[in-house]
Amino acid sequence: MTTVRREAFGRMPPEEGGGEVEKFVLQSDSVRVEILSFGCIITTLETKGRDGQFSDIVLGFDTLEGYTGKHPFFGTVVGRVANRIAKGKFSVDGKEYQLFINNGPNSLHGGAKGFDKVLWSAEVLPNGVRFFRLSPDGEEGYPGDLKVWVTYTLSGRELAINYQAQTSKTTPISLTNHSYFNLAGQGSRDVYDHEISIEADSYLPVDDTQIPTGEVAAVQGTGFDLRQPVELGKHLQKFHLDGFDHNFCLHQGQDRRLVARVFHPPTGRTMEVHTTQPGIQFYTGNFLDGSLKGKGGATYPKHSAFCLETQNWPDAVNKPNFPNALLHPGEEYNHTTWLVFNTA
């Protein structure tokens, strides 16, 4: 049985048009999650350890001001296009579009004011909440009026996130949730003692601006082979890696499949990621630097969390050999990711 509660969380600043931000609390016997109508942000995600105690396992802030200020997309839904588009440029039907450049020479996570920085309208469901917004034609340089629905539902130990969209003009789209996890509990120093596996035979090498080179490289015999569980800290040392910020290429298909699993031996917490998406970006919080003050006054240093962002491959709109990134009028974009929490 899931209970759903809605309550006020704060007001947008006047220069952002004011407007009330609501918080939705979804609770089952084993998971409790709090989600905002601003940016569809997961602010809190509490799961049980093997001691039966709840801990909050996502990074974030106590107040709305934290989320309206500059931060690395904690808990947000990012779009229209998650990840990077090279030089913020792409062409559709012979017309070139230029997006806002916000990450070195590239466009990242939708631009200057992506889906993470706007108010969504909300509808309470029996076991969750559905958010809606219309992204107008030309927003951040993207073509077409795009209707978007993001639905969070909680059942038992499973949190499902469904993304749907329809467009009036052909547009690239790739939506994901950008939660930062630490199964030891948010505010813990690092994630080196986490064991991770990712069901991917290949990954995308990147250039020095984090744009995929176009090569689809086999993981076999490299530090990117995570098909068997590895202890993260030891693995980074062994392969002299500064961390991960790479897309892992998943088996293609519209069906739900298990793509990643994380286990934290000290607490017994496990998290599985299931998805219908073609890729998953594994990011180890390489750019966290301890400068942000998070929940309960916690600071978040480098490698104090990981992200597993299910999505299309980065820069797919400019790479013909990557999975299709375009949504056409009359079609529906529809993907789901499931996070399953357990103890071992």
pLDDT, tens digit, 9 for 90 and up, residues 171-230: 999 999 999 999 999 999 999 999 999 999 999 999 999 999 999 999 999 999 999 999
- The residue from 46, 139, 178, 264 that is catalytic is 178
Residue 248 pLDDT > 90: yes
Does residue 231 have an active-site annotation? Answer: no
What pLDDT does residue 254 have? 81
Task: State the pTM of this model.
Answer: 0.97
Nearest alpha-carbon partner for 245 in 273, 274, 207, 271:
207
> What pLDDT, in 10s, does the model give residues 30-70?
999 999 999 999 999 999 999 999 999 999 999 999 999 99
Q: Could you list the residues known to form a binding site, using ranges.
A: 83-84, 178-180, 245
Dist. CA 75–CA 9, nearest whole Å: 16
CA pair distance 150, 176, nearest whole angstrom: 10
Give yes or no for residue 253 having a pLDDT over 90. no
pLDDT of amino acid 120: 98
* Stretch 3-27: mean pLDDT: 94
Closest CA to 343 of 132, 57, 22, 17: 57
In order of 240, 258, 265, the CA distances from 49 in angstroms are: 31, 22, 10
The torsion angles phi and psi of 295, rounded to 5 degrees, stand at -60, 135
Instruction: List residues forming the annotated binding site for beta-D-galactose.
Output: 83-84, 178-180, 245
Structural fold of domain 3-343: Beta-galactosidase; Chain A, domain 5 (2.70.98)
- What is the pLDDT confidence band of residue 281, given thresholds at 50, 70 and 90? very high
- What is the model's pLDDT at position 55? 98
Residue 16's pLDDT is 83
In the annotation, is 178 catalytic? yes
Contact 82, 309 (CB under 8 A): yes
Query: How many Å apart are CA 56 and CA 48, to the nearest integer?
Result: 9
Domains of the chain, by residue range, sit at 3-343
Residue 252: the pLDDT is 84
